[in-house]
Structure 1
Amino acid sequence: MTSGTIFLVGLGPGSEDHMSARARSAIAEADCIIGYTTYIKLVADLVDGKEVIRKGMTEELDRCFEALARAREGKKVALISSGDSGVYGMAGPTYEVLLDSGWRPGDGVDVEVIPGSSAINSCAALVGAPLTHDACTISLSDLLTPWPVIARRLEAAARADFVVALYNPKSGRRTGQIVEAQRLLLLHRRADTPVALVKSAYRRRQRIELTTLEHMADCDIGMLTTVIVGNSNTFVREGLMVTPRGYANKYSKADSGKTTKDGEQSGRSLSMGLTGWKDQLCHWLAEDNNRTLRAAQAHFDMPFAEVLSAIAAAPTEGGVCPPDWTACAIGRKEFAASLAFAEGWPSLRAVVRTEAGSVVELLLSSSNFAIKGDWLNLITDSAHLHIPWHKVTSVWVAGQRGNIQGIYYCDASGHRLLTLQPTGAAIPFDPTTITEQLQVCTAPDQSLAEESSHAS
């Protein structure tokens, strides 16, 4: 079989000035050019004398099969995409078709991916510097991706304070997606968050508009528009959209950034860095004895289990949190034993947090727990609560001023599912004693029954 080649060419934004030299040379080298009709027009002066195969929108897989068929004939094929072929372009589907056909690298058809500037880069360059910090791209096209998946990604990106570039925001038939995206972003972003709308970047009909998240959906948006939504620090000044890199967190502006702020060191992680934030949390709790774990979670905007982990990591000698705050993790094999341990308290309160954010509190005075399958059943004469025990991935005991504050059952995201708190008499927080009691509760004749008579 004659060896052929597939060039997966990213054209960049569309103007020849912004096309890479390798993209131009690959097109010149190719015998056959395959692409969406609009993209072919962008390189019309480069394809004279070559076989040109034009395909319409939604015919992406046809382009891949055409490219493979001609490459197997020994031809050099340039399969072109706007932007970068690996970002919502033809690289992914082409590799899928190749691999599904039995192709392997070195098996008769060579493949080269030639990168280009994606819309997020080219559009950002036209409006200033909105991508100087963490950013992501999300396509609003639900032609191939279920909307619930897109919605989860939008809310997660908004919650995490990413700068977000929205691709395929609106078409003649898809008019509601941009409105719904706006609603989801507003759950976690201010209404005055800067937004840039760039249509046909570096092309003849280029159009740029700066607006806010509140008014974004009211603007002229189409399939050729890329929407860049700023993060909580992005600002617009003198017509330029800028996202700070974060130098103001470490350096003083008074002397042109030559001096670090108190507590910061040049070339070192921030005081709120990977490990430093835990010390900051402990300092924050120590500043006011009335501050609670829940307040710490809200202040630092971290999962509850991470707050407990920070307290547990504090030094026992000379640390900031102890003796006011202490915490220790319970091993997975002792998860069930921790329930029996709590049942040994004179009285206790169970606090259950639902996925919707509701809180249920229940006072207990006897053995009210039973694990049945994937569920923990908490049952009294007046209430039945069923907690997804299979979702519990970490269990913590926390104490304040030498006494146990509670046992916290958290899911994989670090959020609380269940809290057990002693009421009435204080229970001393002593990790050694807790460990010994858990070992006793784990013994076969003392373990929590899998099928308890309390189970419903």
Structure 2
Amino acid sequence: MNKGKILLVGFGPGAPEHMTYRAREAIAEADVVIGYSTYIKLVQELLDGKEVVRKGMTEEIDRCVEAYEHAREGKTVALISSGDIGIYGMAGPTFEVLLQAGWTPAGGIAVEVIPGATALNACAALVGAPLTHDFCAISLSDLLTPWPVIARRLEAAARGDFVVALYNPKSGRRTRQIVEAQRILLRHRRKDTPVAIVKSAYRRRQNIQMTTLSAMTDCDIGMLCTVLIGNRSTVVREGLMITPRGYANKYDALTGPAKDGERAGHSLGMGLAGWHGGVRRWLRDDPERSLREAARHFDAPLGEILAAVGAAQPDDEAGTHRATAVAQQDLDAVLDGARHWGRLRAVVRSEGGGVAELLCDAQDFSRRGDWLNLVNPHFHLHADLSRVRGLWFYSREHRQHGVYFLDEGGDTVFSLLLIQADGNFDAVALSHFHQSRELYGQPFVPVDEAPEPETETDD
């Protein structure tokens, strides 16, 4: 018996001219063609003489099983899908079914994945160039994915300033998901953020709606639509939705020479090696700016701001801010040293934005296992030291001295700050603080800033 074969075919948006040569070749090669009934209609002209198996919208696993059964009989099977079969398509479920049945790539049935243009780039081509910079795709269908997972992904994409392509945005029964997605995105995007809603791209009933993030839920949206939501840089010009690649950040008037401090073929001044310098400059330019203001301005965790301050050089300081890293193994020693810093202010910030500031004395400290307990007649504060992954001594001339205890993400678990009396720090307490910093502080090692080799690049 001939060995069977499964060809997983993505045939693009649906128009014949957008189907790849290999997709046509695979369908021609097949003995059996299996697909959702709408997909079968889109390639009907290629199916003469084929055994055709039509399946419904919710029969995805049935399609995979049937493809496997036909392939076991030695047939060549084309399991087809519009767009790209590996993006929200049938490739994943097919491999799951095969692996569960004991299939391996080395023996028996051959499997080939044939890519096609997916909805997000087909739709993008119709409205301009919205995907020129970083983007992501998120399906709003919660039939197989819990909504909290989808919501977290939307939140992360919004915070990360990705252009977002929404698949499966709305159906007859699922009407609230698009509204919730809009609400989450509006927490991080302007109301006038450009949005394109493309229905049935390159098919007979193609329809394009250009709108804004605040108005998109008033538009006609259904399962045949893909919703493209711009990032903070996306603009609409002459009816085209465009996301700049970033050349204007480096070159004068886009096509002119590189701006001061920039070089062609090298990272931006605010690239990985240079952005710490940008943070220090921002703090240096205005003495009133605080660490937390810097964290909000750069949308970065406090640990990154402290690292930028800690990497300062004599000719590139962060104004009056000073920061020194502490090794993880010295956590207990720093806490012991804090017993000599006099009256302290313990600060704890909740994820919701609440701030607790508690006055404590050295005798209020005790440690039990992973917990630091600050207990006196007025309050109990318990800090989980197992979450602490970074420690920083921090000083700001006559304003602030203390230690920040940070978690793995660089956010504050808690901080201990010296207290002023009548506008001054206690001289003895401040002396002990500086002694601790000299004993346990370590110079921060910045990103390697060796020059990159001169190579041909796209920027």
Q: Same fold (TM over 0.5)?
A: yes
The answer (yes or no) to whether the contact 2:8–2:90 under 8 Å persists in 1 is yes
Residue of structure 2 in register with 1:157 after alignment: 157
Q: 1:319 aligns with which of 316, 332, 342?
A: 316
TM-superposed deviation, 1:51: 1.1
Aligned to 1:123, the other structure's residue is in SS state helix
Please state if 1:421 is matched with 2:417. Answer: yes
Structure 2 counterparts to residues 349-428 of structure 1, below 5 A: 349-401=345-397, 405-423=401-419, 424-425=425-426, 427=430
TM-superposed deviation, 1:268: 1.1
Q: Deviations over 1:58-79 (max 9, x none)?
A: 2111111111111121111111
TM-superposed deviation, 1:190: 0.6
TM-superposed deviation, 1:328: 2.2
CA distance in 2, matches of 1:429, 1:252: 52
TM-superposed deviation, 1:338: 2.5
Please state if 1:20 is matched with 2:20. Answer: yes
Aligned to 2:5, the other structure's residue is in SS state strand
Residue of structure 2 in register with 1:285 after alignment: 283
TM-superposed deviation, 1:344: 2.1
TM-superposed deviation, 1:395: 1.6
Aligned to 1:183, the other structure's residue is in SS state helix
Aligned to 2:266, the other structure's residue is in SS state coil
Please state if 1:72 is matched with 2:69. Answer: no
The answer (yes or no) to whether the contact 1:195–1:210 under 8 Å persists in 2 is yes
Q: Mean Cα displacement is larger for which, 292-301 or 127-136? A: 292-301
Aligned to 1:335, the other structure's residue is in SS state helix
The answer (yes or no) to whether the contact 1:133–1:244 under 8 Å persists in 2 is yes
The answer (yes or no) to whether the contact 1:402–1:429 under 8 Å persists in 2 is no
CA distance in 1, matches of 2:326, 2:177: 45
- Fraction of identical pairs, as percent: 59
Is the alpha carbon distance of 1:86 and 1:429 closer, same or farther for their aligned partners in structure 2, counting shifts above 3 Å?
A: farther
Q: Which TM-score applies when normalising by structure 2? A: 0.90
Residue of structure 1 in register with 2:100 after alignment: 100
Q: Deviations over 1:402-427 (max 9, x none)?
A: 99722111222211121111113252
Q: Mean Cα displacement is larger for which, 201-210 or 304-313? A: 304-313
The answer (yes or no) to whether the contact 1:399–1:429 under 8 Å persists in 2 is no
Aligned to 2:97, the other structure's residue is in SS state helix
Aligned to 2:363, the other structure's residue is in SS state coil
Query: Alignment RMSD, CA only?
Result: 2.1
Is the alpha carbon distance of 1:251 and 1:32 closer, same or farther for their aligned partners in structure 2, counting shifts above 3 Å?
A: same
CA distance in 2, matches of 1:74, 1:175: 44
CA distance in 1, matches of 2:378, 2:303: 31
AA partner of residue 280 (structure 1): G
Aligned length: 435
Q: Mean Cα displacement is larger for which, 260-269 or 165-174? A: 260-269
The answer (yes or no) to whether the contact 1:132–1:245 under 8 Å persists in 2 is yes
Is the alpha carbon distance of 1:375 and 1:356 closer, same or farther for their aligned partners in structure 2, counting shifts above 3 Å?
A: farther
CA distance in 2, matches of 1:429, 1:343: 9
Q: Deviations over 1:197-246 (max 9, x none)?
A: 00000001100000001111111000000000000111112111111111
Please state if 1:6 is matched with 2:6. Answer: yes
Residue of structure 1 in register with 2:205 after alignment: 205
Q: Which runs of 5+ in 1 are unaligned?
A: 439-456
CA distance in 2, matches of 1:56, 1:215: 33
Q: Which TM-score applies when normalising by structure 1? A: 0.91
Aligned to 1:367, the other structure's residue is in SS state helix
CA distance in 2, matches of 1:306, 1:431: 23
Is the alpha carbon distance of 1:36 and 1:208 closer, same or farther for their aligned partners in structure 2, counting shifts above 3 Å?
A: same
Q: Mean Cα displacement is larger for which, 422-431 or 231-240? A: 422-431
